[in-house]
Amino acid sequence: MKLKDSIKMSFNDLKNRKFRTFITCFSVSIGVALIIIMSSLGQGLKNWAKTQANTMNNLKTIAVSPKEDGKKQLNKDTISEFKKIKGVVSLSSRLNSTITSTNLNNKSTSTTSIIGIDLKNKTFLNSDIEIVKSKNKNGSPILYGKDLDSTSQNEALVGEVYLKRLGIKDFKNALNKTIKLNLEIPNKRPLSISLKIKGIINKSYKVESRKIIVPLDIAEKFNNYAEGLSTSSLTGKLSSVVLETNNMNDTEKVASKVKSKGFEASTNAKQIKQSKSQMDILNALLIAGGVIVLLVSSIGVVNTMSMAVYEKTKSIGIMKALGASKKNIKGIFLVQSASLGFLGGLLGFIIYLIAYTSLDKYLVNMISKKGSASMDSFLVFNPTFILIAILLATIISMIAGLIPSSKAAKLDPVETLSYE
């Protein structure tokens, strides 16, 4: 018996039992659709991560922090060491502090965070500015006025979001006004420092625009006061330092040199690599889920083929009486089970096509709302995934048909001819 005869016979049998064929194929199609969707989603996640990485200029930055043993601290002296490292083009150094209230234009707020910066270094790194500019047309860090410089000993930058919190809407009018920073501690005389507002921070800089940026010495005075130390004894200590390299290829080299000086150094490039590995694992798990569903659906194929053997018992006897071998009989049912898998695979592909557009549109909109790098399409339409999924469904269904087909091949022709 030729293969084309087996295929023709198989499709005729499936056609005669439309409902049962559809139910079996549908169960297979769910697994196939899941495999294709999950593989498309997994590839889409990897592409999205890559797109994010391409828009992340802070892949050129290194966050430096002290080790847990506390042997070496960040201060002005260590900054000088970092500047000498080959590959470092700029750095930002900060000291975080908190005050209990502020006064501006007869308006006041309660607890406020301030950031102290070394006036010899940059307030905003180029990489941070480029990230904001890639998302907003007006990406300049200073909305009105000017940034702090080496002459800004008694000046400050105030965030746009912070001014809104004060109830001030005319941001430009706040320039050159005096803002009073206060720190009150029970049973102690309050520490108050007045500074002139030199610039307004753009709200696109989400962290800084909520705070007040002051010279490093001012922030340290408030911290010393809170800790019961002299406000005149300043050491130039820092909370954090971020180094910026010329290109992302230098980040790991610079990070190694920073570590050799006794500090912790973390790079976003390393995090991207870890994210990529996690995406690969997630992708494998998603596809494995679809394969499991496909394997479960193979039980339906076994059941359908067992019923087919039962219903065609007498026909099997006739074919054997006419000279059909066990191999011929087995082949007929294997082809039929493979046909169920193939049809289920095609149906799964159709389900995927129906779900593709709406699901892709939903994911693109969701990413856009979260402010991530925009994408025209998220799911990846890959013909290779589709062909593999359909082929896998056909093979698994054929394997599922081995037991029923073997049973059919072993049937005794005499008994089958007398079967009613």
How many other C-beta atoms are found inside a 10 Å radius of the C-beta of residue 23?
A: 13
Per residue in 57-91, pLDDT (tens digit) is 567 888 898 887 767 888 888 888 888 899 898 89
More confident residue, 182 or 248: 182
pLDDT of residue 311 exceeding 60, the answer is yes
Alpha carbon distance 71, 93 (integer Å):
19
Report in angstroms the alpha-carbon separations of 252 from 52, 88, 105. 19, 12, 48
Alpha carbon distance 222, 180 (integer Å):
13
Residue 382 pLDDT level (bands cut at 50, 70, 90): confident
pTM above 0.85, yes or no: no
Q: Which helix (H) or strand (E) holds 83?
A: helix 76-83
Sign of CA dihedral 219, 223, 225, 229: negative
Pull the structure tokens for residue 46.
Answer: 């990897």
Alpha carbon distance 200, 210 (integer Å):
11
Of 14-18, 69-73, 99-103, 281-285, the range with the highest mean pLDDT is 99-103
Residue 381 pLDDT level (bands cut at 50, 70, 90): confident
Alpha carbon distance 61, 271 (integer Å):
12
pLDDT of residue 419 exceeding 60, the answer is no
What pLDDT does 234 receive? 86
Residue type, 296: V
Mean pLDDT value across residues 236-247:
87
Q: Tokens 């910026």 map to which residue?
A: 244
- Identify the bridge partners of residue 237 per DSSP, sorted by sequence position: 75
